[in-house]
Amino acid sequence: MTKFLIIPFFLTCISYSQRISYTLYLNDQCENEIKLAEIYWLEKDSVTYHSFSGEPITVPQFGIYKLIAPELDEEFEINVKENTNSDTLNLPSIKSFVHQLNGSFKKGISESAMRELRLKMSAQYFECGITCNGNKVSKYSNGKIRFIGTFENGFPIGEFKTYYQNGNIKEVSFYEADALIKSLKLYDLNGNLIQQ
């Protein structure tokens, strides 16, 4: 009888000891502080492990996982191993915000009302909470360029280029004043033009 009790206890101990915690920290360059990431997840073999409250993620084994961190708008391949069960990544100092996600341009709308609605529905950029003006470059955690452009009152003006995390061009846009987009070219992950 004791043998039958020892075996389940032993298996429980082994399975519990295999649980590994992973924590993601973010370096906030604007606040000059390191904080816990609020939302992130790891994926391996079609299984997703989530953290929605800054808590560590528990994974069943060491190995290579895909890390997705929406606060960074990036994906990483990480190796969770015995001595490495956390990472610290840089938060971008330049962030974009859209004030209004939907709207309607009705027939007969005034030019000023159209301009106001267009601005509310366009991404406005801030660097450490301050409206972007002039030439700006944002980089991914791996050091590659995220975007490069010129800004006026937080809105892109002139040529605005965005890049994939691998460094290849993603989009080339040309903006006129008041967030009016005049042209757009889209590229695939390999940098090949897919839409003009």
Supply 52's token pair. Answer: 């929605």
CA atoms within 13 A on the CB side of 110: 3
Cβ(48)–Cβ(42) below 8 Å: yes
Question: Mean pLDDT over residues 60-73, rounded?
Answer: 90
How many other CB atoms are found less than 10 A from the CB of residue 40?
A: 25
Q: Is the pLDDT of residue 170 over 90?
A: yes
Distance CA 187, CA 194 (A): 5
Cβ(28)–Cβ(35) below 8 Å: yes
Q: Is the pLDDT of residue 176 over 70?
A: yes
Give the rounded percent of residues in the chain with a pLDDT score beyond 70.
87
Q: What local confidence, expressed as pLDDT, does residue 6 receive?
A: 52
Q: What local confidence, expressed as pLDDT, does residue 13 receive?
A: 44
Q: What local confidence, expressed as pLDDT, does residue 111 receive?
A: 75
Q: Is the pLDDT of residue 108 over 80?
A: no
Q: What local confidence, expressed as pLDDT, does residue 103 receive?
A: 63
Q: What local confidence, expressed as pLDDT, does residue 43 receive?
A: 95
Decide: pTM greater than 0.85.
Answer: no
Angle at 46 between CA 40 and CA 51, to 5 degrees: 20
Mean pLDDT of the chain: 85
Q: What local confidence, expressed as pLDDT, does residue 126 receive?
A: 96
pLDDT in tens, 110-163: 777 777 777 777 889 999 999 999 999 999 988 899 999 999 999 999 999 999
Would you say the CATH fold of 94-195 matches that of 2-90? no
Domain 94-195 of CATH type 3.10.450: no
Q: Is the pLDDT of residue 17 over 80?
A: no
* Architecture, CATH, for domain 2-90: Sandwich (2.60)
| DSSP characters over the chain | -HHHHHHHHHHHHHHHHT-EEEEEEEEETTTTEEEE-SSEEEEETTEEEEESSSPPEEESS-EEEEEEETTTTEEEEEEEBTTB-EEEEEPPSEEEE-S-S-----TT--HHHHHHHHHHHS-EEEETTEE--EEEEEE-TTS-EEEEEEEETTEEEEEEEEE-TTS-EEEEEEEEGGGEEEEEEEE-TTS-EEE-
The residue extents of the domains of the chain are: 2-90, 94-195
Question: Mean pLDDT over residues 163-175, rounded?
Answer: 95
- Residue 126's contacts (CB-CB under 8 Å, 6 or more residues apart) are 94, 95, 96, 97, 132, 154
pLDDT band, very low/low/confident/very high, at 169 (cuts 50, 70, 90):
very high
Please name the amino acid found at residue 118.
R
pLDDT band, very low/low/confident/very high, at 2 (cuts 50, 70, 90):
low
